[in-house]
Structure formats: C-alpha cells, structure tokens
Amino acid sequence: MQHPLKHHLTLTLLALTSLSHFPPASPLTPCRTLCGTTAINYPFSIDDGCGAPQYRSMLNCTGTDLFFMTTSGRYKVQSIDYNKQTMVVYDPAMSTCSILQPHHDFVMTDVESVVIPPSSDTIFALLNCSIDSPVLNRYKNLCFNFSGHSCDELYGGCNAFRVFRSFTNSSPPCCFTGYDTVKYMSMNILDCSHYTSFINVDGLKGIGPADWVYGMKLSYAVPDTGCGRCTRSGGACGYDTETGVMMCLCSTSMNATRECGSNGDIGGAQKLALRTKFHAFALVVGALIYFVIFI
Ligand SMILES: *[C@@H]1O[C@H](CO)[C@@H](O)[C@H](O)[C@H]1NC(C)=O
Ligand SMILES: *[C@@H]1O[C@H](CO)[C@@H](O)[C@H](O)[C@H]1NC(C)=O
Ligand SMILES: *[C@@H]1O[C@H](CO)[C@@H](O)[C@H](O)[C@H]1NC(C)=O
Ligand SMILES: *[C@@H]1O[C@H](CO)[C@@H](O)[C@H](O)[C@H]1NC(C)=O
C-alpha cells in the first residue's frame, strides 16, 4: 500500500539531495572581469592567482585605466581583441608625429617578448640615426621599404620631427623596421636618437604620417590548459600562486583542480563540510515531516 503523501515526500527528499550536488547558482570568484570598460578575460588578469601564470603581473588596473607593465614603462591598454588575440597599447612617453619626447628604449620582460610580442602589424621607425648606425651599414637589410614612405615624409610632414632637419638642413637617416631590431639592439647601439611606432600598417599606402595610428599591436597565444571546462562550470581559470599549477577558482572560499562541482577538488574541505551539513539538514527536515504526517 503506497501512501500518496509518502511518495511525495520521497520525491522532495530526492530533489533536496540532488540539489546539494550542484554548485551555487552564481559563484563569486575572486577574479575581476572588468577594468574601467575593458573586459578582462583569460589569459589575462588584474588579480594575482587569476588568468594564466605566464601573464602574471602584466596588467595593472588603476580603477578606470588599464596598463600593460613592461621593463621600460607602463603602457596604456587601448583595447583587447579576444577573437584576434591582439592587444593595442600606447606608450604615453613615446614620440609621435605630433609630440617629440625624450629619448628612451622599448624593453619588454623576457616572458613578455615570448608570449605577447608586437605583431607584424606594428612598424618601428628609427629616427635621426647617425651615418654610423648599424642599420645603415652592417644590418641595413633590417630596414625595409614601407609602402613607399620615406624619411623625408616623416621629417617634413610631422611637426614633432621637423627639428631633426633644422641642424643640417638635410634629412638625417631613418629606418622602418620590425620589433626584432629594437628587441636585440638598444637605441644607443642603433645610434638613432628617437623611435616611433604605428599600427594597422596594411592600410597606410599613400597616407601621410600625420594620419597614422601610433602605438603597438601585441599578439598573444592562449595556453591550452582546459580553461573552457572550468569556465563552463561557473569558475574562473587561475593558478596556484606558489606552484603556478592551473586551478579552477569556483568561489572566494573554494578552488577545484579542473571544474567547479567535480570530485577531486583541492581546498574542497569546506565544500565537503557544506555538503554533509546540507544532507544532515535534509534528513532532519524529512524526518520531521514524516513524523508530523504519519505518526
Ligand atoms: C584559491 O586560489 C587563489 C589563487 O591562487 C588563492 O588566492 C585562494 O586563497 C585560494 N582559495 C582557497 C580556499 O584555497
Ligand atoms: C599598479 O601600479 C601602482 C602604481 O604604479 C602600484 O603601486 C601597484 O603596486 C601596482 N599593482 C600591481 C598589482 O602591480
Ligand atoms: C639627433 O641626433 C644627434 C646625434 O646623431 C643629436 O646630437 C641630436 O641632439 C639629435 N636631435 C634631437 C632633436 O634630439
Ligand atoms: C620603395 O618602393 C617604392 C614603390 O613602392 C619605390 O618607388 C621606391 O623607390 C622604393 N624606395 C626605396 C628606397 O627602395
């Protein structure tokens, strides 16, 4: 003889029990996903222990602005394109067509120059080079003809660069080149007093330097560590700050090895305790209801 209420009770208990196996609806991970209006997604992060370990400490969020930290300075992040895997940065201390600034180098950390170097869509113009510069002599093949543009155009068409001609009344040498040149040779070795860099170079044929977009486009790769699985389970990808081993951060009090709500969690002690408590609670409630209804 099956009592309809008893049947209902069993279903309720079953539902309660299985509920406790799911992660909370919207876990609060310790990783911020926004800096100002810029989305911060894997592999990047602005919180230590979040994102991919290779990209640790690369970004700094001041609350409204995002900065890319390099050995030679803090460069403002203009945009991140997560589909094309590029990041456009702008060095506020760099000389451009409209402003001449003190000489300095562009130096990335060793890790940065491997995981997020400037793309081939970024060209460096070395300016005011001496005639002894290696790029005019031994390494002259590092300079290329950039869409028919000449040094004269830069020295003549840019307010900031006119000063380079004023001493000799002629244009000092310059060189259009790629990141590898400035990576291996400092401006002192190159014997050029300034550089500038610009992006979107495919579209610059026949366009004067006053209308170029100055800055750098960096190109990065996303490490394949199974981050998608963690994200789908409601977590954020991160890593152990001591070992660098990947972790799935599920909430401020819970980390998992691969995905939230799975077995084999690390830091899962609290979770286990929580689950056990919930089971006990469900049992007590069930017993109470049983007593009220059937006894
Ligand atoms: C989870 O991992 C993050 C990042 O390593 C760490 O800051 C946090 O303390 C960990 N939380 C727990 C509960 O282990
Ligand atoms: C971000 O930059 C500020 C100012 O330079 C510095 O005080 C802070 O420690 C940096 N934060 C991180 C996480 O690097
Ligand atoms: C251009 O380079 C020369 C050295 O080759 C340097 O003396 C001069 O100051 C530079 N011009 C500017 C405006 O920096
Ligand atoms: C650069 O290429 C243009 C055609 O695109 C050509 O007219 C010009 O002579 C070349 N300049 C040099 C220095 O090779």
Nearest CA-CA partner of 215 in 135, 58, 106: 106
Beta strands in 71-141 (DSSP E): 73-81, 86-90, 122-129
By residue range, what is the domain housing residue 11? 4-30+225-294
Q: Is residue 206 part of a domain?
A: no
CB 161 within 8 A of CB 149: no
Residue at 265 is within a domain = yes
CB neighbour list of residue 167: distance below 8 Å, 6 or more residues apart:
none
Residue 242 is assigned to a structural domain of this protein: yes
Protein residue with its CA nearest to atom 4 in ligand 4: 148
- 167, 175, 195: residue to mutate for ligand 3 pocket, most atoms within 8 A of CB: 167
Domain contains 61: no
Write b or e for each residue in 33-67: b if 16 or more Cβ atoms lie within 10 A of its Cβ, otherwise e: eebeebebbbbbbbbebbbbbbbbebbebeeeebb
The one-letter amino acid code at 188 reads: N
pLDDT for the residue 284 = 46
CA of 149 to the centre of ligand 4 (A): 8
Q: How many domains does the chain have?
A: 1
Residues of the chain with pLDDT > 90, as a percent, come to 68
Question: Is the peptide bond preceding residue 172 cis, with omega within 30 degrees of 0?
Answer: no
Between 64 and 9, the higher pLDDT residue: 64
Torsion of CA 198, 204, 205, 207, to 10 degrees: -100
- Say if 244 falls within a structural domain: yes
**Ligand 1 surroundings by CB, under 6 angstroms:** 49, 238, 240-241, 247, 249, 253-255, 267
Q: Cα(233)–Cα(222) distance, rounded to whole angstroms?
A: 19
Q: Using pLDDT thresholds of 50, 70 and 90, give the confidence band for residue 216.
A: very high
- Alpha carbon distance 89, 77 (integer Å): 4
Write the pLDDT tens digit of every residue in 154-173: 999 999 999 998 877 788 99
The answer to the question of residue 79 being in a domain is no
pTM, two decimals, is: 0.78
Nearest ligand to the CA of 245 is 1
Answer yes or no: is 207 within a domain.
no
**94: nearest Cα among 219, 216, 220:** 216
Examine residue 208 and state whether it is found in any structural domain, yes or no: no
